[in-house]
Structure 1
Amino acid sequence: MTIPATHAEIEELYLNAELKQCRSISVTACNSFEGTSTIAQALTERYLLAGHRTLLVDLNLYHPSLTPLDITPAQSGITELSELKDNWVQDRQSPKVFLGVIAPSEPRTRLLFKDPSNLRQQVSVWLEQYDRVVIDTSPILNVNKNNIPAQCVANACDGTYLVALSGVTLSSQIEDAVQSLTEGTHTQLLGAILNYRDQPTLANEICREIDRLRWLPSKVTQWMKRKIRQNRFLALPI
């Protein structure tokens, strides 16, 4: 699943963060596979389109999404955490390429990043070289000894977005996640993102049926689908 950087919803996320003067953004969710990596990449693209030098950081140790490319790395400002070097990286499931940081594999490095002060220091180092930093985090409610807690990452960033998968994430899980993010911390929760990935809109379903009408001229079917997608009522999820 990919989301265009010019998507209206991504534009809203971008403007919301910019109006609140957030230079570092973390994207998290209650559970795994709810769309944090997709949102983080789309938001990174939007920052790049705006002319911001942007670094995408993968701290989602539960399900890493980035893999390094064999390209000469950019000079890194990282000192003691030498493994986390910025380099050209690629999404594991698409051809998208970014300047980014892959998920750390060394236990010692993971342990260092679990220290809130170390993590804040590292984000500050990245912000000396980049205009914006977007961090993909592990799920809040999937706690294990290897994950870097999403709460620590959120607390080290200027703002955080919480992703919820429609039809899957429970309201009680969202409440627990919000409480975990904000209780006793200085985390700024920028908002919640409702992912309709598994709930297609009525417009998409109608367009899918139109595609079966192969006897109609292509110009007619394209016109019909364009009119259907422009209807705000049909854009609602089923």
Structure 2
Amino acid sequence: RSIVITSAVSGDGKSTVAFHLAEIACAMEQRVLLVDANLRQPVIHQLANLSNFWGLSNLITTNLPVTEAIRPAPFMKQLSILTSGPIPPDPTKLLSSEKMKRLMEDFQNSYDLVIYDAPPLLGLADASLLAPHTDGILLVVRMEKTDSSVLKRALDSLKTSRMNVLGVVSNDHKQNSAY
């Protein structure tokens, strides 16, 4: 019902994977909310061609109604998008707030699937703060870019924190015609 999509490091394509997974779920008649929970380097608003004037950071820090922050995707009727909003000074504080936990619960009760695009795992607590309130984490790895030792460190940190890893998506595989 709800998942966090992250990667070990930035540049692995997690936002693109989150975006396309949301589209696929909508094509399967699911009512989907795609949340840009990357309050550091948001991308979803660009992929969806939406403004990022208000979004998740506003919902957490103000009394902005949820209905004004969540917008229907102009290209797919079953998809709703919550952009990140303005980048706050302390994203970790917002994502660990009680208000964020209440919002996540409300989202899960209102949609068939909620997808959170989160910052990379290593060096940041953001994805680890969101994951316990979802069904688990989907880890995106870019082929021939993500170092295997970095991936191992990310998986080890997920194991020690007892996060539910739903799977790993390998991204950007270049098919070699010789094989």
Q: Which residue of 1 aligns with 2:2?
A: 24
Q: Which residue of 1 aligns with 2:71?
A: 87
Question: Structure 1 length normalisation: TM-score?
Answer: 0.59
Q: Give the root-mean-square deviation of aligned CA atoms.
A: 2.9
Structure 1: gaps spanning 5 or more residues: 1-22, 71-77, 204-233
Q: 1:130 aligns with which of 111, 127, 135?
A: 111
Q: 1:43 aligns with which of 21, 38, 42?
A: 21
Structure 2: gaps spanning 5 or more residues: 52-58
Q: Determine the C-alpha separation between the residues in 1 that align with 2:14 and 2:114.
A: 15
User: Match for 1:189: what amino acid?
Assistant: V
Specify whether residues 169 and 88 from structure 1 end up closer, same or farther in structure 2 by C-alpha distance, changes over 3 A only: same
Q: How far 1:135 moved relative to its partner? A: 0.8
* Correspondence 1:114 to 2:90: no
Q: Determine the C-alpha separation between the residues in 2 that align with 1:151 and 1:79.
A: 18
Look up the SS of the partner of 2:103 in the other structure. helix
- 1:31 touches 1:139 (CA, 8 Å); kept in 2? yes
Look up the SS of the partner of 2:12 in the other structure. coil
Identical positions, percent: 26
* Correspondence 1:53 to 2:34: no
Question: Structure 2 length normalisation: TM-score?
Answer: 0.76
Q: Determine the C-alpha separation between the residues in 2 that align with 1:112 and 1:61.
A: 9
Q: Which residue of 2 aligns with 1:158?
A: 135
For these two proteins, the number of residue pairs brought into alignment is 164
Q: How far 1:129 moved relative to its partner? A: 1.4
Look up the SS of the partner of 2:26 in the other structure. helix
* Correspondence 1:141 to 2:122: yes
User: Match for 1:177: what amino acid?
Assistant: A
Q: 1:189 aligns with which of 148, 165, 179?
A: 165
Q: How far 1:108 moved relative to its partner? A: 7.5
Q: How far 1:132 moved relative to its partner? A: 0.8
* Correspondence 1:100 to 2:81: yes
List structure 1 runs of 4+ shifted beyond 6 angstroms. Answer: none
User: Match for 1:174: what amino acid?
Assistant: L
Q: How far 1:109 moved relative to its partner? A: 8.2
User: Match for 1:158: what amino acid?
Assistant: D
Q: Which residue of 2 aligns with 1:173?
A: 150
Q: Determine the C-alpha separation between the residues in 1 that align with 2:99 and 2:160.
A: 21
User: Match for 1:100: what amino acid?
Assistant: I
Q: How far 1:81 moved relative to its partner? A: 5.5
Structure with bigger RCO (C-alpha 8 Å, 6+ apart)? 2
* Correspondence 1:66 to 2:44: yes
Specify whether residues 171 and 126 from structure 1 end up closer, same or farther in structure 2 by C-alpha distance, changes over 3 A only: same
